[in-house]
Amino acid sequence: MDLYIHYQQLPQDLTLADFVGELNEVLEDNGAVCGGQDGRLDLDLEDENVNPKYAQIAVKSYLQRRGFARETMIEIGGMEIGIYE
């Protein structure tokens, strides 16, 4: 299953390389960053047996801790969800 992060900009103290590395750590063995484009990062949730809500919650929590803007959205299964909802 794919999970997308739609963002306007990175927090001041975060590079794109750090963002990718930290997300890979958050997802551990259950997924990884697999691509992206300007303003979007694509994640592949590898283990279909793990409820994708766990990954969604972990990613939302990470984005909140790192200070991403309120406009940042997570898209999973075609549905966009704000990180502060």
Domains and CATH numbers, the chain: 2-82 (3.30.70)
Predicted local confidence at residue 50, as pLDDT: 66
Q: What is the pTM of this model?
A: 0.89
Q: CA-to-CA distance for 26 and 43, rounded, in angstroms?
A: 12
- What per-residue confidence (pLDDT) applies to 72? 97
The pLDDT of residue 39 is above 70: yes
Q: What is the tens place of the pLDDT at every residue in 46-72?
A: 766 667 788 888 999 999 999 999 999
